[in-house]
A and B are shown apart, each in its own frame.
Chain A
């Protein structure tokens, strides 16, 4: 943790967009400005509550370059590690905590002739910074959302005639029809639940989209499951990973300076060598061969099929 640059942010205000979505506005604790962020960037909030520590990444929805405040939207996750529940139930204006970043692993392609953005639910968030960045360019956003989020999302998108909402139950949504209608030079950006993204990627591949024109931002929301234990081979320490805790969080809680960056299984920074045990791979980084080999694990999202993993650290 020591190696990561953090700064302290204060909650300027919170606002519930609806029962499940909370808009959080952060400002620098001290006088001054935040670093400028680019379209698609995220920050990591370091939150503490009753002995738990969360380090959750959230896409910035503020306009690229905005430095006086950072804005995020947090969906309350039903069954998760608890960070979003904390933000919904306890976070108040005036609270101060460290944030990391901004970082960006989901930037718009400069060579694109057209930008096609497809979002599932809260996957709308990175595109709220794309829209102003791509103003004047050929860009189009489609958001598939639950009916209960339609009103809140419609308000967020009110200024953007190139953004289209597709509430489930009210409208049919055919990603295939949208993908099949795109001119040459279109780049596709995806953010949403894993199943949403996997289904669209499959349709895109069938239509002949090349992977180099598909850009993905993952939530990494699937890092909970059965409890297991890890042994750190170099000093013999044994740690328990709770059902509602990721392996990375368990390492950090124990004071291990484990590397990490995106915390969503995409960037590869938190890769650890596995000496014994069977990993339950949930990342989007390792190759098929690496997964099958079972000798590496991405600590931020992946867990264990065996009750115990021995890690080379």
Chain B
């Protein structure tokens, strides 16, 4: 097959200071690419779906980009109360950086938001928390 390829390996590699900088460069690159282009990404869950959403915004469809999880299982958590994003969460509970609520990290993952859902864990019995455990090292 002809056509260009673009490899996106985990954040920080390849001289990009941050994932957003890498995604901005990817957007610029895709604007100049032609049909037949393939995109391959490897990294953590949130990063992968940031790449997928960037690819979709550029017009790529399923079958034109490929994602592989690599590295940490840590989660990006979306606070369903204040919409804040909390990065690099490795525990079942996390304190929201936006509203301060203690969130339970659910397995529910949004591809659109590229994040796992976090819901207040002690809404019904304030202050009553389950034990904290590191589940996503």
Where the two chains meet, the residues of A that have a C-beta atom closer than 8 Å to any C-beta of B are 111-114, 179-186, 206-210, 212-213
On whether the beta carbons of A207 and B30 are closer than 8 Å, the reply is no
On whether the beta carbons of A209 and B60 are closer than 8 Å, the reply is no
Q: Identify which of B1, B63, B64 contacts A206 (C-beta below 8 A).
A: B1
Alpha-carbon distance A177/B13, docked complex (angstroms): 36
Quick check: is B62 within 8 A (CB to CB) of the other chain? yes
Where the two chains meet, the residues of B that have a C-beta atom closer than 8 Å to any C-beta of A are 1-3, 30-31, 33-38, 58-64
Which residue of chain B lies nearest to A182 when distances are taken between CB atoms in the complex?
B35
On whether the beta carbons of B30 and A184 are closer than 8 Å, the reply is yes
Alpha-carbon distance A209/B34, docked complex (angstroms): 10
On whether the beta carbons of A212 and B58 are closer than 8 Å, the reply is no
Alpha-carbon distance A185/B27, docked complex (angstroms): 13
Alpha-carbon distance A181/B38, docked complex (angstroms): 15
On whether the beta carbons of A185 and B63 are closer than 8 Å, the reply is no
Contact A212 B63, CB 8 Å, known A183-B33, A206-B2, A207-B3: yes
Most buried by B among A111, A180, A181, A210: A210
**In whole Å, how far is B103's beta carbon from the nearest beta carbon of chain A?**
34
Contact A181 B34, CB 8 Å, known A206-B1, A206-B2, A208-B3: yes
**In whole Å, how far is B5's beta carbon from the nearest beta carbon of chain A?**
10
The interface residues of chain A lying within 8 Å CB-to-CB of B38 are 208
The interface residues of chain A lying within 8 Å CB-to-CB of B2 are 180, 206-208
Most buried by B among A181, A183, A186, A207: A183
Alpha-carbon distance A213/B63, docked complex (angstroms): 10
On whether the beta carbons of A208 and B60 are closer than 8 Å, the reply is no
On whether the beta carbons of A183 and B35 are closer than 8 Å, the reply is yes
Which residue of chain B lies nearest to A185 when distances are taken between CB atoms in the complex?
B59
**In whole Å, how far is A168's beta carbon from the nearest beta carbon of chain B?**
26
Contact A185 B1, CB 8 Å, known A180-B34, A207-B36: no
Which residue of chain A lies nearest to B33 when distances are taken between CB atoms in the complex?
A184
**In whole Å, how far is A270's beta carbon from the nearest beta carbon of chain B?**
30
Which residue of chain A lies nearest to B39 when distances are taken between CB atoms in the complex?
A184
Q: Identify which of B30, B33, B61 contacts A213 (C-beta below 8 A).
A: B61
On whether the beta carbons of A183 and B1 are closer than 8 Å, the reply is no
Alpha-carbon distance A207/B61, docked complex (angstroms): 16
Alpha-carbon distance A209/B64, docked complex (angstroms): 9
Alpha-carbon distance A210/B1, docked complex (angstroms): 12
On whether the beta carbons of A186 and B63 are closer than 8 Å, the reply is no
The interface residues of chain B lying within 8 Å CB-to-CB of A209 are 35-36
**In whole Å, how far is A144's beta carbon from the nearest beta carbon of chain B?**
20
On whether the beta carbons of B59 and A180 are closer than 8 Å, the reply is no
On whether the beta carbons of B64 and A210 are closer than 8 Å, the reply is yes
On whether the beta carbons of A182 and B34 are closer than 8 Å, the reply is yes
**In whole Å, how far is A177's beta carbon from the nearest beta carbon of chain B?**
11
Contact A212 B33, CB 8 Å, known A206-B1, A206-B2, A207-B2: no
The interface residues of chain B lying within 8 Å CB-to-CB of A179 are 35
Contact A184 B3, CB 8 Å, known A179-B35, A207-B36, A208-B35: no
The interface residues of chain A lying within 8 Å CB-to-CB of B3 are 207-208
The interface residues of chain B lying within 8 Å CB-to-CB of A181 are 34
